[in-house]
Structure 1
Amino acid sequence: MSELGMAGGERDRRGFLRGVAAAAAAVGVGGLLSGGAWAAPVRWSAGTAVASRAPLPPIGTNIPCSTYAANVPLKVNVLSVLTLDFKGGCEFFVRTSQVSGLDLEIKSFRVEADASPATPDSGTLLALTVTSSTSTPLSRLNVNEQGGMEMVLYVPLTLDAIDKATAETILTVTSGPGAYATFKAAEVREFPPVNLAYSLQEPVKLYGSDGSQAGVLEGFDGVMNHSAVPAA
């Protein structure tokens, strides 16, 4: 082959490689980094053609999130009826990952509300946390054929009332054996979540250690955001 032909072939090969690199950058395929972190240059967005989407997080991915819920109605027998602002975080662990969606384990969930904000050193702090349970079904992110997504969370709950002056827990109630709160986000536009609105689907009865009903979580409308900081 002549030197001119060889030079032309080399230019064609370089042009092809540049095109491949540009296409890969445009797709933004995520991957696992060292230490189990997940790199996702492009989030999974509802309504995007399946062939052009970045993949959902793979199995084994931890997804920490912050969350906030205002004006939460809570009835506790010893504290009467309260309306509180809860804030905190949660963390999901991806158990299965398919085109149809994700099975999610809730590794942690903790939100707190100050029942007496006018007295920083006295009064009561309320903490809602996930109760350890092997009977609770996995939470789920579903993807339908049209590309829409919804998420359903199953969270067995423990509510602790904490004395702010002593940091002692003065009351503990739970959703009870085999029971859990069901939260739903009907319109998930991207995942991991950004400004994702989710809500409690029905009131959750809370029970004391003697099995008697001690309160009700009557509602919970929250907003969730992916966070770089793992949930506590």
Structure 2
Amino acid sequence: MRLRHKPWAKERIDQYPQYVVADPEMYKGNWQEPFAIQQPLHIEIGSGKGRFITEMAKANPDINYIGIEVYQSVIVAALDRLIEADLPNVKLLNVNANDLGKFFAKNDVDRIYLNFSDPWPKTRHEKRRLTYKNYLNLYGSILRDAGEIHFKTDNQGLFEYSLMSFSQYGLLLKYISLDLHQSDFEGNIMTEYEQKFSEQGNRIYRCEVKYK
């Protein structure tokens, strides 16, 4: 995906610290503080334009959400959604997922969503996949005991790789769908990519795994 550079994005982000947390390091170990109500915390890594995280926050007011997106030119679209929705239970972070350990401590997070992550199909790029063992170790360092990862993709190769990676790491498989939109799964909230890929006839794969 080629991103269109938006030179005004940083200025707009800086104007809304109530939505995009400017200094996430200060909340490490205490992520209940920036939210109106103390409740479970779910994060989405690679939140894109924010459709999923915003709609999840609307549907589940008893959960706090954080959308993480590294690209300023993308996160401003999520910011616009959040400004319009004005939800008290969702924040955004403009940071790199590689740095999660700088911003979150053990037990800060109850669930992680990985939606339509870059598949990095070449073998030499395996370590960049967000379901690679090093990332699974990183997630485990911020999740509560028995915390979960919910994963969706349209890429069969990445899905098969991820199932193998989860298994080798020792995670417990709770749910698997090889064709989500033709399954009996209820309450699915689509991302922008999910709608696009589904309309193109692509099958959507989904699984839920839990740390032991």
TM-score range, shorter chain: under 0.3
More helix by percentage: 2
More strand by percentage: 1
Bigger Rg, which one: 1
TM-score, with structure 2 as normaliser? 0.22
